[in-house]
């Protein structure tokens, strides 16, 4: 995965990079072009002066010399024409200045002259800098303004997109609140909005019908189960059956009991999904745990130890609180032997239940999934912990599982997330 960058930032970045590139490129072009132009200009000036000097020589035969600007010397032989830069002391400014120098040889009236014309380059260089710098300044200013308008405009333009994206992030199947999608005069955004609406509606209705289906199925199973149950009860009492048949029939009853449990748990899960538990009250976990321990003791589970009994109260549906504790404790009971201690601790905002285990779970990440069973325990419906997780999710409690020092440890943090 590459690093993700915000859309507006990315657009701005492109814009700014283009800007910087254009400033540099245009400055170079402008610099080179103006410099050549100015050089040509100076050369032209030099040549024109040289022409005038030569003209004056021809006409008057007088040697004009005004060093360092104009120098005329009579020489013996013709030489090559040279154009070059030179540095000459300027007494007015008391510093060395750059001059452009043109030396040519001319034969005028039978004599050979070397005419040297010089012109100061400084001014043309100043022009050059002035032009390039103002170009850069104009460019930067223009770009900053454009950047500002572009960014604000972009933000405005993309607002429906960002708002709808935000809504999508908050979309939850279980919540019935409709999505507050923003319409836009931009065709694509408007289309996107419509598609999202269609899609979310479809997902929701599919989810609803799936939930309804689950509920209906488990509901419809109750009656046939009741019939089987009733018939079995009568068979045991009416007919002459032998011991073996009785065992088989009671084993069928156990299976019915399992189906009954399964149904009940699926219904509970669906009801939590449907937000049917709305009675929130203050539940004392301490009292609830004490009660549970008492009732489990009647079932000969005397290995429950309530170690640290700090008072913990939680605001939630009391029926769900009961299921929560019951499922966690029965899970611990199911996976430990009668003699092994099951430790229950309430502390601060925490509930911790731990039981001995020989080895860590192979797939702790699947622990809270529906119908996931770590071992092939036929008594388990595989829904107990899924319900625990669902209840925690409903109220924003944090549940975690660890395996430490030969113990399976489940802990729930009842501190609700501040949203």
Interaction with other proteins in 284-313: which residues (CB under 8 A)?
295-296, 298-301
Q: Which residues pair with 404 in a beta bridge?
A: 407
Give the nearest distance from C-beta 306 to other proteins in angstroms: 18
Q: Does 225 bind other proteins (CB under 8 A)?
A: yes
Judged by CB under 8 A, the stretch of 94-102, 145-153, 194-202, 219-227 that binds other proteins is: 219-227
Q: In terms of CB distance, is 73 or 219 closer to other proteins?
A: 219
Cα distances (Å, whole numbers) of residue 295 to 190, 236, 310 = 60, 30, 21
The interface region with other proteins, picked from 54-62, 165-173, 251-259, 347-355 by CB under 8 A, is 251-259
User: Considering only residues 325-344, where is the footprint of other proteins by CB under 8 A?
Assistant: 326, 330, 333-334
The helix (H) or strand (E) run that includes residue 354 is strand 350-356
| Of positions 230, 302, 307, 360, contacts other proteins by CB under 8 A | 230
The C-alpha atoms of residue 262 and residue 370 are separated, in whole angstroms, by 11
Note whether 238 binds other proteins by CB under 8 A.
yes
Pick the piece of the chain touching other proteins (CB under 8 A) from 69-77, 115-123, 218-226, 411-419.
218-226
Q: How far apart are CA 418 and CA 194, in angstroms?
A: 33
- Is the peptide bond prior to 68 cis by the omega test (within 30 degrees of 0)? yes
The answer to whether residue 223 forms part of the interface with other proteins (CB under 8 A) is yes
- 3 state DSSP class of 397: coil
Residue of the chain from 149, 207, 213, 319 that contacts other proteins (CB under 8 A): 319
| Interface pick for other proteins out of 27, 150, 267, 286 (rule CB under 8 A) | 267
379 touches other proteins (CB under 8 A): yes
Nearest to other proteins of 52, 297 (CB atom): 297
Cβ distance 96 to 89 under 8 Å?
yes
Count residues binding other proteins (CB under 8 A).
45
Q: How far is the CB of 264 from other proteins (least distance, A)?
A: 7
> What CA–CA distance (Å, rounded) separates 136 from 85?
28
Contact of 13 with 143, CB cutoff 8 Å:
no
- The CA radius of gyration of the chain, in Å to the nearest whole number, is 47
* Strand partners of residue 307: none
| Contact yes or no for 105/73 (Cβ under 8 A) | no
| Position 237 contacts other proteins (CB under 8 A) | yes
Gap between the Cα atoms of 291 and 321, Å rounded = 12
The least distance separating other proteins from the CB of residue 219, rounded to whole angstroms, comes to 6
Q: Which of 112, 256, 361, 369 binds other proteins (CB under 8 A)?
A: 256
Candidate list 112, 181, 196, 241; residue touching other proteins; CB under 8 A: 241
When asked if residue 214 is in the footprint of other proteins (CB under 8 A), the reply is no
Identify the residue among 271, 370, 389, 407 touching other proteins (CB under 8 A). 271
Q: Give least dist CB 402 to other proteins, A.
A: 24
Contacts for 160-169: CB closer than 8 Å, 24+ residues apart: 160/184, 160/186, 160/189, 160/193, 161/189, 161/192, 164/189, 164/192, 164/193, 164/196, 168/196
150, 107 Cβ separation under 8 angstroms? no
Q: Which residues bind other proteins (CB under 8 A)?
A: 219-220, 222-223, 225-231, 233-234, 236-238, 241-243, 246-247, 250, 253-254, 256-258, 260-261, 264, 267, 271, 276, 295-296, 298-301, 319, 326, 330, 333-334, 379
């Amino acid at each position: 995965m590459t690093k993700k960058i915000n859309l507006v930032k990315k657009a701005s970045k492109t814009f700014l990079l283009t800007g910087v590139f254009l400033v540099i490129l245009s400055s170079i072009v402008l610099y080179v072009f103006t410099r050549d132009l100015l050089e040509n200009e100076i050369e032209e000036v030099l040549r024109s002066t040289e022409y005038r000097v030569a003209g004056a020589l021809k006409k008057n035969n007088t040697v004009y010399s005004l060093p360092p600007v104009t120098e005329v010397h009579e020489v013996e032989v013709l030489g090559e024409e040279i154009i070059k830069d030179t540095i000459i002391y300027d007494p007015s400014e008391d510093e060395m200045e750059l001059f452009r120098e043109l030396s040519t040889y001319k034969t005028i009236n039978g004599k050979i002259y070397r005419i040297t014309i010089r012109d100061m380059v400084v001014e043309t260089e100043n022009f050059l800098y002035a032009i390039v710098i103002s170009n850069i300044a104009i460019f930067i200013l223009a770009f900053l303004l454009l950047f500002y308008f572009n960014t604000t405009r972009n933000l405005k333009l993309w607002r429906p997109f960002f708002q709808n994206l935000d809504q999508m992030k908050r979309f939850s199947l279980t919540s019935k609140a409709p999505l507050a999608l923003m319409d836009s005069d931009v065709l694509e955004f408007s289309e996107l909005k419509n598609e999202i609406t269609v899609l979310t509606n479809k997902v929701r209705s599919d989810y609803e019908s799936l939930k309804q289906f689950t509920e209906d199925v488990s509901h419809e199973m109750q009656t046939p189960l009741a019939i089987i149950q009733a018939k079995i009860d009568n068979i045991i009492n009416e007919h002459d059956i032998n011991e073996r048949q009785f065992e088989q029939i009671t084993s069928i009853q156990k299976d019915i009991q399992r189906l009954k449990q399964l149904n009940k748990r699926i219904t509970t899960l669906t009801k939590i999904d449907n937000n049917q538990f709305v009675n929130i009250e203050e539940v004392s976990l301490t009292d609830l745990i004490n009660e549970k321990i008492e009732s489990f003791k009647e079932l000969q589970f005397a290995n429950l130890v309530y170690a640290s009994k700090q008072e913990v109260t939680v605001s939630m549906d009391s029926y769900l609180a009961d299921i929560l504790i019951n499922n966690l404790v029965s899970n611990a009971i199911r996976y430990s032997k009668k003699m092994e201690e099951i430790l229950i601790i309430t502390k601060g905002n925490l509930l911790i239940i731990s039981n001995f285990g020989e080895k860590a779970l192979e797939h702790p990440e699947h622990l809270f999934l529906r119908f996931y069973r770590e071992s092939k325990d036929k008594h388990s419906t595989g829904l107990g912990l899924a319900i625990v997780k669902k209840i925690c999710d409903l109220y924003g409690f944090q549940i975690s599982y660890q395996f430490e020092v030969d113990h399976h440890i489940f802990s729930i943090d009842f501190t609700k997330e501040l949203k």
